[in-house]
Structure formats: structure tokens, C-alpha cells
Chains A and B, each alone.
Chain A
Amino acid sequence: MARFVQNLLRRPGPSGSESERAAQDARETTRSHQPWWTRVGLPFWLSLGWLVLIGLSAILADILPIDDPLSTNLDTLFMTPLSEGHLLGTDAVGRDMLSRAIHGARISLQLAFTAPFLSLLVGLVLGLSAGYFRGRVDTAVSIFTDSILAFPNIVGVMVILFFFGASLPVMILALAFFGIPAEVRVARANTILFSGREFVMAARALGASNLRIMVRELLPNVIVPMLSLVLFGMSIVIIIEGSLAFLGVGFPPPTPSWGKMIADGFEDISRAPHVTLVPAAVMFLTILSLNMIGDSLRALTDVKASSL
């Protein structure tokens, strides 16, 4: 029946005439099989190194040979960095800055590694449902996220902390809550985008349930941009904690947190700038590292995703 077709092309073996293409595939394969760690560059490794250093010292803070972050010493007020026994100097009541920076990291990192992931989880469920089902679900989710967005998040967190007390779990939940809208929007937009693709129609034609389509077909495509938002969320969370402490609504003293340290040092900034600058620098490097890692990961995953 396909004689015309056969004349056009002397019926090639199933994959025979595609040998050229196969060769090209092989080249592409070698390129994409080049290990990813050779393709991310030095900034990525420096950033990761910094985060690992901060993370490990925060975890091991209690067994590291550092001073008690709470013990005051009136003999060693405002010692400059690189002083004997105090690598990063001391603050207004003689507490060791290095020790306080490390213990402060605990608060910031605990927030950074919980709140954005909670936002991701809730955002994923809401955004996927809104983008997949559209209609009323979409309207309800949009109203919910828009009303969160209508509230300035720092003020919102302040109010929640005021009513429920400034404890770590309350802070985590409050920050997670205000991180939901961004994740919902990314999830929803990508769900709508991918729902129109034919592989979703193909799954439906196979009789896949809505849940299966959402989890198996859509979720793997939607989660990638959401994860890069998580890294961004981590830096936001650290900054908000800093801002709150600076405004005096963070954790009660003497618990060390980076924001609180900056706020404390601010009074003496002209006499001893290092008391403010040390925690500020630590915070700056941490956020910079998070952003750098985010950029590298995005560059790594985007090539394939966008070339489709």
C-alpha cells in the first residue's frame, strides 16, 4: 500500500538511516554526561563551602572549643577582631562574637531550612490543584493567596509573633505562611503551562486518574522552578528574621541571632563598628551563597527544560 513511500525511500531498517542522528545523539550524550560538578564553576563551590562551614559549626556549636555565647566579661569589652582568644572580637558586654555568630546561625539556619519547604509543600498542593482544575478551585486559591499578598509580610509576622509569642515554631509557621503565595503562583502558572501539553492529554486518554496525572505527569515538571524559589525563600527568611530583630520583635534576649546582634551593635557603631559588621558580613555571605547556588542550579537544569 505504501509503495509511493517505499519509492521515496528504499525502506530503511527501523533505525538504520537514523545513524547520523544517532551519532549526533552520542555527541550530545557525552556533553550532557559530562559530570555536573565540572560545569558549575568556582563561585558555586565557594558558596557551598561557606554554607557547609556555617551549617557544621551551627550543628556542632556545643562541642566546639568556643566560649559560651551568653557569658559576659567586663574585662573584655569591645575587643577588636583578631584579638587574643577572640577571633572576631567581643561586644558591648564582652561576649565572644565568634561564638555568638555561630550560635546565631542556629536560629537563621533552622528558619531557612524549614519555613521555605513548608511554603513549598502547601504551595505545591494549592497551585497544582488551582492550575489543574481551574474554575472554582482556582478562584478560591487565588483569593486566598491574594489576601496574603495584600498584607505586608513583616507586619504580618510581627502580629503573629505578638499574639502567639516569639518562639521558634511560631516564627517558622509565620514565615512559611507568608511564603505560600509565591510558591502557589509558580506552581499554578507552570501547571497551566504543562496541562496544555499533549503528554497530559495522552495520560488522560490512557485513563489515568486526576491524582495520578497531577503527581506523575505534572509534579516533576512543576517542582523544578519551585525548588529554585525555595533557595530564594531561604534568603528572604533570614533577612526577615534580621529585620524583625532589628525592630525589636525577634526572639527575646539574650538568645543570639544575627539580626539581634546587628541591632545590639548598632548603638555603638561609631565606637566599635565590628560588633555590627561581623554579624552583617556573616549574614551577607550566607545570603550571597544561597543566591549563587540558586543561580548555578537554575543554569544546570534550565538548559534541558527550555530547549524542549
Chain B
Amino acid sequence: MADDSILSVKNVSVEYLTESGRFAAIQNMNFDLGEGETLGLVGESGCGKSTTGRAILQLPRPTSGQVVFDSVDLTRIPQRDMRPIRRRLQIIFQDPVSSLNPRRKVKDIVAEPLVIAGVGTRSDRDAKVREVLSAVGVDPDISMDRRPHQFSGGQCQRICIARALILEPTLIVCDEPVSALDVSVQAQILNLLEDMKARYGLTLLFISHDLAVVKNISDRVAVMYLGKLCEIADSGRIYDSPAHPYTAGLIASIPVFDAGSSGRGERAVLAGEIPSPLSPPSGCRFRTRCRFAQQKCREEEPPLRQIDERHHVACHFPLLA
């Protein structure tokens, strides 16, 4: 896809061995991330969004496929060589409280990346910790010697962001960073991520199940269903003219404040339940819930194909604008 991509995920699959056989959490994922771009990754829970994010960080290493970060294939290099690369790849988790060790002080938690990377003396590190804590809006004078339980969820997420930023990484995987927070606090954290992205020149992979959140922060959006990519396009495009029936259904299910002025006469509401990922439907995985499913969808799995310059979709019969 893009030539200036900082990260390419190529045919990545992650499989787990269960008692009932092999189970693919994600299968043949393909996408690129341009430098300075924010890619939103959405889908219902259990569709493999987080697995994708973690597979990029090699936690665990994907079963097959390549993760090329800055022209290095992370799936091939030994653990030892992975360590310096980890400094440039960071992750922020959904539950900010669980992401911070309850027995350690904030200054030790935030300084930990520096210690592991072996950067600076103790006083250098302290200065750096103060700097990032101020940057994320946590007063270092008050917070440095406190422990995580003395902070609110929003403040804990700020501390997690500080920890992710302290090594000045290239790419941050944000794994549902605001899902556990109050709506008012969500807005603050999203603004903070935007500010930090501008200040540190970050590339973000923003994972969320909340399309409203993703819409406002992403340059491009990728939609996943049952471990596979359905559609990937620019943010404006995917919300205005989704090509995959699943994307259309998801977008139609975003609550609208004023139903009268919504302008979406017909709502493509998603019906049915997600099939078990242990035995996904044949052909197109979405066909069991798709209004437009035909015989071909049952027999043949649709590949991800380009329908416009920056718009890819995995559907035999894409919706046309």
C-alpha cells in the first residue's frame, strides 16, 4: 500500500491451541500504517482487535505472517534484538488501574522504561519523569511519591500515557485507552493523545469498539469481524459511504442525538449474534448476519480488494455510494 509506511502487517495470523483444536484469533491481517498517521481499528468485542495490537508488539509472536516495523521484520529477529526496538513501540491498555503496579510509586513506574533501556543517571531520569508527567497534565510535585490507588482512573491513564511517552517512541498501540473511563474523562484523554501526537510526532494504532470515538481521532479506519479485516478506508470515507454491509451496520448503530435530522432514512441494523470463532461460517464470515448474502458468499471467501484509491473492502457485493 503506502510507500512511506512505518509499519506493515502482512498476512499475520495468531492461533491458539485449545481443547477443541486450533483457534485463529486473527487470520491473514493486512494493513499499513504511515508515519504520523492514526489508524482506528474497530469491531465488536472478541473480534481480535487487541490480539492484532499485541501481535504487533510480539506479545505473543504471531503464528504466521510478518510485522515489518521500520523495515525490520519483528517476527524473525531474536528476543535480544527486539529489546532496542521495544523502546520505539509502546502500548497503552484499556484498564489504567490494572496497568500500574499497585505497590510501586508513580515515579518508579514512569521511570521503568528508562531503567530497562539503561538510559541516564537517576537524576536525569527524575528530570525526565517530571517532564513527561507535566506534559500529560499530572502535577509531578504531588504525584511522584504516590502510589496508583491514590489517583482516579483518568489520572492513572495519564500516568500510563506518560510511561508510554518517556522513551519518545515512534508508534503507540492504544488498546481501548478510554473504554474504561467516564465520558467526560474520555474527552480529556482523547485530547491529550492528540496533543501528545502532535508534540512527539507519534503514529497511533487506536483500537476501540466505539465508532464515535474512533471517528474523531483517526485518519483511516479499519473494521474487523471475527478475526478478519472487512474494510479499510479514510475516516471520512468510511463513515460517509461504507462499502461493507458490516461497516454500514456498525455505523447505523451509532446512537444519534436527534433522530429526526439524522438523514439516514433506512437503518441497516445489525441482526443476529456473532458466530463462534471456534467454527466460523464458510466463505464470507459475515454472511450469516448479512442482508445481501448470496450463494457465492457461502462458497467463496472474499479477498480484501481495492475499490478506490484508498479504500479496500473484503466483500463480493460491496455497497456502492
Residues of chain B within 8 A (CB-CB) of A62 are none
Whether B137 and A25, one on each chain, are in contact in the complex, defined by CB atoms closer than 8 angstroms, is no
Tell me whether B253 is interfacial, beta carbon within 8 Å.
Answer: no
Tell me whether B271 is interfacial, beta carbon within 8 Å.
Answer: no
Tell me whether A203 is interfacial, beta carbon within 8 Å.
Answer: yes
Interface size on A, residues (CB 8 A): 41
Whether B191 and A11, one on each chain, are in contact in the complex, defined by CB atoms closer than 8 angstroms, is yes
Chain A residues within 8 Å of B, Cβ to Cβ: 1-6, 8-9, 11-15, 17-18, 21, 25, 28-29, 32, 197-199, 201-208, 212, 216-217, 220-221, 224, 304-305, 307-308
B147: nearest chain-A partner, CB-CB:
A304
Residues of chain B within 8 A (CB-CB) of A304 are 102, 147, 149
Whether A220 and B101, one on each chain, are in contact in the complex, defined by CB atoms closer than 8 angstroms, is yes
Given A14-B192, A202-B91; 8 other pairs, CB 8 A cutoff = A1-B216, A4-B212, A21-B155, A25-B150, A205-B57, A205-B89, A206-B86, A220-B104
Whether B216 and A5, one on each chain, are in contact in the complex, defined by CB atoms closer than 8 angstroms, is yes
- A205-B86, A220-B101 given as contacts; is B116 within 8 A of A212 (CB)? yes
Interface size on B, residues (CB 8 A): 51
- In the complex, A268 Cα to B87 Cα: how many Å? 75
- In the complex, A275 Cα to B149 Cα: how many Å? 53
Residues of chain A within 8 A (CB-CB) of B83 are 207
Whether A13 and B137, one on each chain, are in contact in the complex, defined by CB atoms closer than 8 angstroms, is yes
Total number of residue pairs linking A and B with CB closer than 8 Å: 114
Candidates B93, B97, B138, B155; contact of A201 at CB < 8 Å: B93
Instruction: For the complex formed, measure the closest distance between the CB of B270 and the CB atoms of chain A, giving whole angstroms.
Output: 23
- In the complex, A2 Cα to B212 Cα: how many Å? 11
Whether A6 and B86, one on each chain, are in contact in the complex, defined by CB atoms closer than 8 angstroms, is no
Chain B residues within 8 Å of A, Cβ to Cβ: 57, 59, 82-83, 86-87, 89-91, 93-95, 97-104, 109, 112-113, 116-117, 136-139, 147-152, 154-155, 160, 163, 183-184, 187-188, 190-192, 194, 212, 215-217
What is the predominant secondary structure among interface residues of chain A facing chain B? Answer: helix
Residues of chain A within 8 A (CB-CB) of B93 are 198, 201-202
B99: nearest chain-A partner, CB-CB:
A198
Whether A203 and B112, one on each chain, are in contact in the complex, defined by CB atoms closer than 8 angstroms, is yes
Instruction: For the complex formed, measure the closest distance between the CB of B298 and the CB atoms of chain A, giving whole angstroms.
Output: 39
Whether B216 and A29, one on each chain, are in contact in the complex, defined by CB atoms closer than 8 angstroms, is no
A21: nearest chain-B partner, CB-CB:
B152
Residues of chain B within 8 A (CB-CB) of A21 are 152, 154-155
**Which residue of B94, B183, B216 has the most chain A CB atoms within 10 A of its CB atom?**
B216
Whether A305 and B102, one on each chain, are in contact in the complex, defined by CB atoms closer than 8 angstroms, is yes
Residues of chain A within 8 A (CB-CB) of B95 are 198
Residues of chain B within 8 A (CB-CB) of A32 are 150
A22: nearest chain-B partner, CB-CB:
B142
- In the complex, A18 Cα to B184 Cα: how many Å? 10
Whether B150 and A15, one on each chain, are in contact in the complex, defined by CB atoms closer than 8 angstroms, is no
